[in-house]
Structure 1
Amino acid sequence: MSVNPVEEQIRLYAKQLKIPTFGDYNEILRRMKPDSKLEDILLELMKSEGIQRQENQNRRRLKAAQFPYQKTLDELDLSRYDGSITKMFLNELASCKFITEKKNIVMIGNPGRGKTHLSIGLGLKACSQGLNVLFKNAAALSTELTEARDNYTLGRLENRIQKSDLLILDELSYISFNRHQSELLFKVVSERSERGSVIVTTNLPFSQWTDLFENTTMVAALVDRLTFKSYVLDMNGESYRLEQTMKSH
C-alpha cells in the first residue's frame, strides 16, 4: 500500500503541535456525512481533541490523588444513616461547592461506617470537575512529613499538599502522634485554613482527640481550624462493613 504523503505530514504536524486527534482525522471523516462542510469537519476534530484532553487530564488527576481504591457516591447506601445523610445533602456535597467555598468536612463514626467510602466518592467527584485532590492516611502522612523534614524536603512536600484544592486526611485515629508529628500535621491543617478544603475521617469524637496528640492546646486549635466553616457528620451506628459481611452469609 502506497503512503499518502499528505497524510504523513498531517500526522507529523499533529504530533508536533500535540493535537493527536487531528492525526487520526480519517476516523472522524468516516463518521461524517460525505457532503459535510469543511468547518463541520474541523469542529468535530476540535470537539474530539477537547474530549480526549479532558479524559487525559482526569486520568492524571486521579493518579495524583493517590486514592487507595475507587468507590463512587452511587454505591453508598444512605439508608444506613437513618436520615442523618440525605440524598439532597449528598447531592449538595457532590456539587463540590464546599471546595470552592473552602469549607471542611469532618466525618466521625465507628469503623466500617463508610467514612472512607464517602470521602473517596467526594474526591472522585472533585477530580471529575477539574479540581486537584490529595488523599492521605493520617498516620502515613505524619511519617511522610517526618521523613521529609529529616531529608530536608519538607518544603517541597508541604507545597504539593497546599496546591491541592481538597486534602483528604483519612483515619485520624488508632495511633497517637508524638510532639513532632503533631506539630507537622497541625501546620498542614493550619496553612489550609481558608485557603483550601480538608476532609477528615475519624472514629473518635473531638473530646477524645487528646488521646491522639500530646499537646492539648494544639488539639483545641486544630479542632478550631477544622470546624471553622465546616460540616461535621455524625456517622455512628452499627458497622456498615460488618452488616454487609453478615448479609453475605
Structure 2
Amino acid sequence: MANIASLPVLLKELKLASFSKHWEDLAQKALDEQWLSQTYLAALCEQEAAERYQKRLHRFTREAQLPPGKHLSQFDFTAVSNINKNQITALTQQRQWVKQAENLLLFGASGVGKTHLACGLGYALIDQAIRVKFTSATAIVQSLQQAREGLSLAEALTRLDKYAVLIVDDIGYVKKSSQETQVLFELIAHRYETGSLIITSNQPFSAWDQIFDDNMMTVAAIDRLVHHATILEVKGESYRKKVSMKRREHIEN
C-alpha cells in the first residue's frame, strides 16, 4: 500500500505542482462534503490544468514581446474607416486562418493604428494559447542578416516556426539593400503555407519595389503573401497628430 508521507515527494517527481499545493486542502474539503474519490481526483486535475494553462499564457505573453497597452479593447474603432470591430473580432474568434497558415496584411498611413490592431490581435490569440511573436521589420531583417553571415540562416528561420503567428511591423522601413531584402524574402518564402504572418505597411504593393531591390523578387514576395491572405486598409487621421494638436490647443488655452 502506498505511503501518504511519500506523496509530496512523488508529486514533485511527477512535476504536479498544483497537486502538491492543493491536495491537502482539497482532501479536507472532500471529507467535509463527502466527495467520491473520483470527484476529489477530478478537482485536483482541474486545478492542475488551470494553473498550467495560466503559466503557459504568461510564458507566451512574455516571449511574444508585444508592446504594452495595445489590446483590442483599447483601440478606438470610431477613429478609423474602412474596417470595423466585427471584422477584427472575427479574426480572433475564427482561428482557421491561423491553422491554415494564412496571412493578414494591414495597410495605411503612419499613425492610423495598424500596429495597435496587429498587437491587439496578437494578445487575443495568445489568450487562446496560440504562440505569437512581435518584431519590427528592421529588427528581424538585421537579426536574420547576422544569422546569414554566421551561416545559420536556415536554423534562425526554423526557430521562428514555433510561433504560429509572426507579426512583422513597418515593413516599409526596411532599407533597400540586396542583403537585407534577400533575407526578408527568405523569411516570407519560408513562412509560405507553414506559418501565418501579420504584416503592417505604410506603403501599398505598388510601392514595394522601393523595399526589394529586384522587381522579380518583389513580385514573388507579394505573390506568396497574398495567396492566402486577408488584406485590410486602415484609413483615418494620425493618432499621434491628433494628440499633438490637442496638446498644442491645451497649451494655447
Q: Which TM-score applies when normalising by structure 2?
A: 0.88
Cα distance, 1:31 vs structure 2: 5.9
Q: For residue 124 of structure 1, report the CA deviation from its aligned partner.
A: 1.5
Name the counterpart of 1:197. 196
2:171 is paired with a residue of what secondary structure?
coil
Identity %: 30
Deviation at 1:247, TM superposition (A): 4.4
Amino acid at match of 2:71: T
SS of residue in 2 equivalent to 1:200: strand
Q: Select 1:17's aligned residue among 4, 14, 19.
A: 14
- Larger displacement relative to structure 2 (46-55 or 132-141): 132-141
Query: Helix, strand or coil for the counterpart of 1:134?
Result: strand
Find the counterpart in structure 1 of residue 170 from structure 2: 171
Aligned pair partner of 2:83 in 85, 103, 115 = 85
How many correspondences in the alignment?
Answer: 243
Task: For 2:244 and 2:40, locate their aligned partners in 1 and report how far apart those are by CA, in whole Å.
Answer: 54
1:70–1:120 Cα contact (<8 Å) kept:
no
Distance 1:177 1:141 in 2: 15
Cα deviation, 1:157-197, whole Å, max 9, x if unaligned, reads 11012332111111112342311211111111112212221
Residue identity in the other structure for 1:36: Q
The separation in 2 between residues aligned to 1:236 and 1:167, in whole angstroms, is: 23
Deviations 1:211-249 (A, max 9, x none): 222112211111111111211111132112332454464
Q: Which residue of 1 aligns with 2:56?
A: 57
Q: Deviations over 1:32-84 (max 9, x none)?
A: 671231222221111000001111111222222222335211111111123x2
Alpha-carbon displacement from aligned partner over 1:119-153 (angstroms, at most 9, x marks no partner): 11111222222222221211111110111111232
Instruction: Tell whether the 8 Å contact from 2:71 to 2:123 is kept in structure 1 after alignment.
Output: yes
Q: Which amino acid aligns with 1:222?
A: A
In the alignment, is the contact (CA less than 8 A) between 2:157 and 2:190 conserved in 1?
no
The yes-or-no answer on 1:148 pairing with 2:147 is: yes
Distance 1:27 1:155, change over 3 A: farther
Rate the CA distance shift 1:74–1:15 in 2: closer, same or farther, 3 A: same
Asked whether the 8 Å contact 2:145–2:180 carries over to 1, the reply is yes
Tell me by how many angstroms 1:6 deviates. 4.0
Measured after TM superposition, the shift of residue 30 of structure 1 is 6.2
Mapped to 1, the partners of 2:28 and 2:203 lie a distance apart of 59
Correspondence 1:227-238 to 2 at 5 A: 227-238=226-237
- TM-score for both structures, normalised by structure 1: 0.89
Q: Partners in 2 of 1:46 and 1:169 — Cα distance?
A: 38
Write the letter of the residue equivalent to 1:85. I
CA gap 1:206/1:28 in 2 versus in 1, 3 angstroms: same
DSSP-derived class of the 2:172 partner: coil
Residue 28 of structure 1 and its aligned partner are, at CA, apart by 3.3
Distance of 2:149 and 2:128 partners within structure 1: 36
Change (3 A) 1:42 1:245: farther
8 A Cα contact 1:173 1:204, kept in partner: yes
Equivalent residues of 1:10, 1:22 under 8 A apart: no
With over 3 angstroms needed to count, the CA separation of the structure-2 counterparts of 1:30 and 1:138, relative to structure 1, is: farther
Structure 1, gaps ≥5 residues long = none
Is 1:218 aligned to 2:217, yes or no?
yes
Give structure 2 stretches of 5+ with no counterpart: none
Per-residue deviation at 1:29?
A: 4.5
The ranges of structure 1 where at least 4 consecutive aligned residues each deviate by more than 6 angstroms after the TM superposition are none
